[in-house]
Amino acid sequence: MKVLVRKGIQAFQQMSVQVRASMAFMAVNFMQKGISFLTAPIFTRLLTTEEYGKITVYASWLDVIGIFAMFGLCNNVFYNGITEFKKDRNRFVFSMLTLSNLITLLVFAAVWTVNKYVFRFLQVSDHLILFMFFTFLLEPAFEFWKTRQRFDFKYRLLCVFMLLVMIFSPLCAIGGIFLFPEAKVEARIVGAQLMTLLICTGCYVLTVLRAEGMPRVRYWKYALLYNLPLIPYFLSTYILSSSDRLMIAHYCGEDKAGIYGIAYTMSAVVNIIWSSVNATMIPTIYKRCEEKRMHTLSEFVNPVIMAYASICIMIMMMAPEVIAFLAPSSYGEGMYVIPAIVGGVFYMSIFSIFSNVIYYHKKPRYVMGAGVAAAVANFILNMLFIPTVGYLAAGYTTLAAYLVEVLWAYMAMKKVTGSSVYDMKKLILVGSGVLAIAAAAPLLYPYMAVRLFLLAGLLWYLWKNRNDMIQMIWRKRNHE
């Protein structure tokens, strides 16, 4: 074992800085998001269902209000800005932070006034509302710093910070629940954010010290014009990911929504993988676009998509065992919706590689159109099929909505760039395979031996071609 570990360390040290940074970011991001998934059963036992419901409501409002309060400035507009204004990065970052804070204060004034004096639409205590907006003020500083570290392939300190958050977030939350049993909800929410806010404060001070002058209004204008068309897209994304459970509860009852919710947790697991991978790919995609080398993107993107498709297929095939692990037999029916849900998440990855190129070319309104079209399609299909077919149809309506989003994004990317950019034949082949398995997998659930045989064949194929896939992905990055 020691020999294997030593060889692994030596191989890692011999890689280029781009490869080391990408692998480190991917591993730590996966661990950080995975720990929150693994610790969820602990909190469901420490909190009553009512208390856990209050935390869920807070998290939902955090997502919705955060869209407006931080204006999405931590996303692609920031990636574009530090690429376009690379000679004035410090001032650009400071300008984004001050703009984010200004918008946060304006949104806070509006929310507080309406919720306090007009009608109470937030089912959240005043203390938690104040804490929510306090996090909105500090969080962008850490997000901006993380993005700069990724773009500069500096991974050591960022990985340390992310590991600290991964360790202390659940520990502080659990400790807070025991220390303040009369305020478990507040203790869980605040405790989980303590380490993150401490790091955010340090990044905030660092950004101010590096500012090199006052914020520039032209950077504010740049960010506002870029992101304003994307607000409907951010909202539509939230609707696309959440409306299923709300409509199932309305048409079929909360028990069916609970079964569907357990199955939907698999999307979170698969999303952890893709968000980690996509975060490492964005700097390379932007750099190649900047250097007029878009035609080379398929060299490392397509193998990533193929590997990710394989992971999705494995989860689809093992859905009965996954559900048995996550929940008692009363939730067993949810296994039949996992293939559609995971298939939809896979198509999100295709959408991501298209939208990354669109974002680079500063055409966010095209991405907005894709998100809104998908959300509208999902809502209409849910209204048609959930009441008539049943709640399991929601997984397939979501899959159909993601297909709409992908097709829209592809046409938008082709219009923006004048080309398909990627090797579409391979992407269509892989995507069709995932779609076919999403439809066929439930038919194979009674036959475990058949599923294991197919999984063994898939694993053998991946192992046989592992060196070629790794070289295709990383070799090109060594020459960045």
Shared-domain flag, residues 383 and 236: yes
Number of domains in the chain: 2
Query: Which of these three, 215, 237, 272, is where a domain ends?
Result: 215
CA distance 154 to 146: 9
Shared-domain flag, residues 376 and 336: yes
Shared-domain flag, residues 270 and 411: yes
In 255-384, beta strands by DSSP E: none
Structure tokens at 162: 């992310």
Residue type at position 325: F
Look up the domain containing 401 and give its range: 229-480
Shared-domain flag, residues 49 and 128: yes
Shared-domain flag, residues 197 and 92: yes
DSSP states along 14-69: HS-HHHHHHHHHHHHHHHHHHHHHHHHHHHHHHS-HHHHHHHHHHHHHHHHHHHHH
Is residue 316, in this structure, part of any structural domain at all?
yes
Is residue 220, in this structure, part of any structural domain at all?
no
pTM summary value: 0.69
Shared-domain flag, residues 239 and 203: no
Shared-domain flag, residues 183 and 285: no
User: Residue 98: in which H helix or E strand, if any?
Assistant: helix 89-113
Query: Which of these three, 215, 243, 273, is where a domain ends?
Result: 215
Q: Between the CA atoms of 101, 107, 112 and 113, what dihedral angle is there, to the nearest 10 degrees?
A: 130
Residue 102 exposure: Cα atoms within 13 Å on the Cβ side: 10
Is residue 223, in this structure, part of any structural domain at all?
no
Shared-domain flag, residues 299 and 436: yes
CA distance 72 to 66: 8
Name the nearest CA neighbour of 151 among 204, 211, 231, 93. Answer: 93
Shared-domain flag, residues 364 and 234: yes
Shared-domain flag, residues 155 and 237: no
pLDDT in single tens digits along all 480 residues of the chain: 555 556 555 655 565 566 666 667 667 766 766 676 677 667 767 877 677 667 767 777 888 889 899 998 988 789 889 888 988 999 999 999 999 999 999 999 999 999 988 777 777 889 999 999 999 999 999 999 988 887 777 878 988 998 899 899 999 999 999 999 999 989 999 999 999 999 999 999 999 999 888 899 999 999 998 888 778 877 777 777 666 766 776 788 766 766 776 677 777 778 777 877 787 778 778 888 888 888 888 877 888 888 889 889 988 988 888 777 766 676 678 788 889 989 998 998 899 999 888 888 878 778 878 888 888 898 899 899 989 988 888 889 989 999 999 999 999 999 988 888 888 898 999 999 999 999 889 888 888 888 888 888 888 877 776 665 555 545 444 445
Is residue 53, in this structure, part of any structural domain at all?
yes
